[in-house]
Amino acid sequence: MRNVMRDWDAKQLGSLDGRTAIVTGANSGIGFHTALELGRAGARVVVACRDAARGGDALTRLRAAAPAGNFRLEALDLADLASVRAFAARFLASGDALDILVNNAGIMALPKREVTADGFERQFGTNHLGHFALTGLLLPALRRGRNPRVVTLSSGLAYVGRIRLDDLQSERRYSPSGTYANSKLANLLFMVELGRRAPWLTSVASHPGATHSNLQVHAGFASRLVMALIGQTADRGALPSLYAATGDVATGEFFGPRHLFNMQGSPVEVSLPKRAKDASLARSLWDASEKLTGVHYELDAPVARSA
């Protein structure tokens, strides 16, 4: 297990001058604080948000909190592959290298089964397929990055998730929290398989533990009770993501809070769920994801770049 400084926090980030980062879902909660601290540390941060009004408000708050930071707002709806493709095309057209991609955005526990613009079950489509497509489309920019890193956010619920390859869209079996857990396990399978297929980048994952955020808007009574008792603030919940994005890590590692069964506190490496270590399942999910999204990864070696 990775030996993380016991009380690690954002003050230990160090300088990110010259780095470029993209944070999805950066308008609130964990994503907002991830973007804020990366910007404070000197990174150029693309604030990727679905809602223009909320994104504009977040940009104002980010600039007020970190006046020296370099933040840029871009529209991105992970539940619409046309939006994902348009976002990636704009970023690639800028010619910027991409050093850090934080696949943070997500939705949780929708009461009824809904579908995305492309007909995917909304939780699986947003949390997994949207980020799968985004990462694949941004590979040319990641190749130009300085020690490029992809951070994929999962959840403690991934430990109870299951991937049914014959029912990825939860058409036969849907439950609000169960389908969410499945999408979070998919995130970890993607993280591991990305690292295997693209050894030239660092692919890691994190989860925030019990953290207050907009994700809980549809949470049930049990979840609300847990949050009321032990929930931590979003700036603390962002610490595992920030460590995964900037710390001394290796591909395939998973970071979460240190205390209360990995529910709160400073970051520490945590064990992957057993199902996330299933290499055959990871390959099958990858193949299915390429087929569903139409995004096929071009995994050439990176462009040489000085440190």
The Cα–Cα gap between 27 and 49 comes to: 6
Of 159, 174, 180, 297, which one is the catalytic site residue?
180
The Cα–Cα gap between 31 and 14 comes to: 19
Reply yes or no on whether 243 is catalytic.
no
The Cα–Cα gap between 47 and 58 comes to: 9
Residue 25, by phi and psi: left (phi above 0), alpha (psi -120 to 50) or beta? Answer: left
Annotated catalytic residues are: 180
